Amino acid sequence: MNHSTPVQQHNYLTKMAQMWQSGALPREAGYHQVDVAHDAWCGIFAGKRCNCDPDIILKCSQPAAAQH
């Protein structure tokens, strides 16, 4: 029997998935740049899981069709 603790996903990945589902991040393929601002105490800076509520901002977006 396996009694290992499931690994939790980084908070920033969970938040980005929620933003994508709500339409706050683009759904179409292409180049999309986001800034993720973690709190100073976030575990990410110690090589651990992101455990803060980071600010995520879409900096720029270019649909794949515009790249050709």
> Over the stretch 8-29, which tens digit does the pLDDT of each residue have?
899 999 999 999 999 999 988 8
Percent pLDDT > 70 in the chain is 87
Residue 40 falls within a domain, yes or no?
A: yes
Residue 4 falls within a domain, yes or no?
A: no
Residue 1 falls within a domain, yes or no?
A: no
Residue 30 falls within a domain, yes or no?
A: yes
Domain that holds residue 15: 11-67
pTM for this prediction: 0.77
Residue 6 falls within a domain, yes or no?
A: no
- Measure the CA–CA gap between 62 and 68, rounded to whole angstroms: 11
Residue 21 falls within a domain, yes or no?
A: yes
- The tokens describing 61, both together, are 């977006």
Percent pLDDT > 90 in the chain is 74
- Measure the CA–CA gap between 54 and 11, rounded to whole angstroms: 8
How many domains is the chain partitioned into structurally? 1
**Exposed (0-12), middle (13-18) or buried (19+): which is 47, by Cβ within 10 Å?**
exposed
- The tokens describing 26, both together, are 């683009």
- The tokens describing 68, both together, are 């050709």
Average pLDDT taken over every residue of the chain: 89
